[in-house]
Structure 1
Amino acid sequence: MGQRRLSRPQADDASKRPMQAKQKSNNSVLNATTTRKGEVFRAQRRTSEGVNMQASQHIINVPVNKSVYNGYGGKQFSLADQPKRPRAARPTLKIIPIGGVGEMGIGKNMTAIEYDNDIIVIDMGFLFPGTDYPGINYITPDITWLEENKHRIRGHVFTHGHLDHIGAFRHLVPKIPAPVYASRFTIGMLQRTMEETDGSFEPQYNELNPEAHDIVQISDSFSIELIRVNHSIPDATAVVIRTPVGNILA
């Protein structure tokens, strides 16, 4: 028997494929146009996206920045071109060290808090000088600025009774008088220092209980609250100062 010859595979010839019936249209241009299905889908999607962007633009009336539709009315949207609204003038909260910052040692703790037309003062300590100042017992803070603005001082607040925080009280408070706020033991220490003076000035003392978390409004801009803290002296506290622009913990 002869050897059977295997037939060779023939390449696919698109011209020999059976023609599918094409739906005719009355439009001769469409009948003569051949379009792939993928191109049709992409064109439909582009059209749909463009319509949606324009519709959204007219609904919310906010310029968009797209390559297909570049802003309302074809205008480029830019923050730099938007009208600037002037900000209402608002006072600045200032924390002003009167003493105790950058000193030669520990002491002269005194800080002013200023907002609008109000000032409160935290502590009035003195500094024990070293051997570089022979014959000088202690140094007090320079309160020139506070004396010039003493009509704006609404209160003096004291954190505790150590001399680096209250030592200058008897020397300075007659020059910048204002109500005094502190815990019971600290007020007792302040009164004791005032007994050592020869003057007749008597401060107005206001005792605050840190256990009760009393909040006292001492001006339009400031309210204060004493919080118990651990320290090497009774009734030591921190001070929460509430202002129109935020709180300060001192």
Structure 2
Amino acid sequence: MKIQDHIWYVTGGASGLGEGTVRHLHAQGGYVAIWDISEDQAEELAKDLNGKSGGEKRAIAARVDIVDEEDVSAAIKKCDEAWSGKVVGGCVNCGGVGMAGKIINGDGEPFDLDTFRTVVEINLIGTFNVSRLTAARIVRDVSKPIAKADENTPDRGVIINTASVAAFEGQTGQVSYSASKGGVVGMTLPIARDLAWFGIRNMTLAPALFSTPMMERLPEKAKKQILKGAEFPPRFGLPTEFAHAVAAIIENPMMNGSTIRLDGATRLGKL
């Protein structure tokens, strides 16, 4: 599938991996919907990108709570109205949160259940919510009744979700985060199989040590400790490098139903 002239929904699109993805897809001629809980940041990014488009509005911002079905549906409708006639290519789910804490802390107190529930709801249920609504929207663009995909079926769209290497090597205090990202990995193949009938693909990226706002909030001592497990390159990954992986998945129809680690050979230790 080509990036150019297709509509791409990017959750968490106002910063970090999402922003890197938005900028790359826009630079490749895509129409990008910047969905983020931070509306001001999303609007600022859209304004910046549209200023570089020669007068063509190829970026739209919307405040979206990815867990809220009405929010996501309204954002899809906003894109339909702004870009009538354009085909939806898919979505890139980068929106997520991380809240650290051991299942039992040093005082013997159990991890807060509401916090665990919130992390799973945003990272896993929110990802599923956007995925299912995007898939339904892609199918709407098909001009004839859906028949089972065969060798002549075009690549109709792709859903790209973001997990983490914590899904495989969760560190101390990452129980809620690892559980949520493990769920994203776990639903990759079933979603791909569900959508194969329609010619829609599903892939997951599992980044390791990337420079994001979440990572930047860590103390310098913690960052240095984390990088001790890095092989090569021995640094934090860049959002642009994540975005290149997104583009490769979009453009290669054989990438389907799998999870790709972006880790520089890093394997997370206990910490």
| TM superposition score normalised by structure 1 | 0.29
User: Using CA pairs below 8 Å that are at least 6 residues apart, which structure has the higher relative contact order?
Assistant: 2
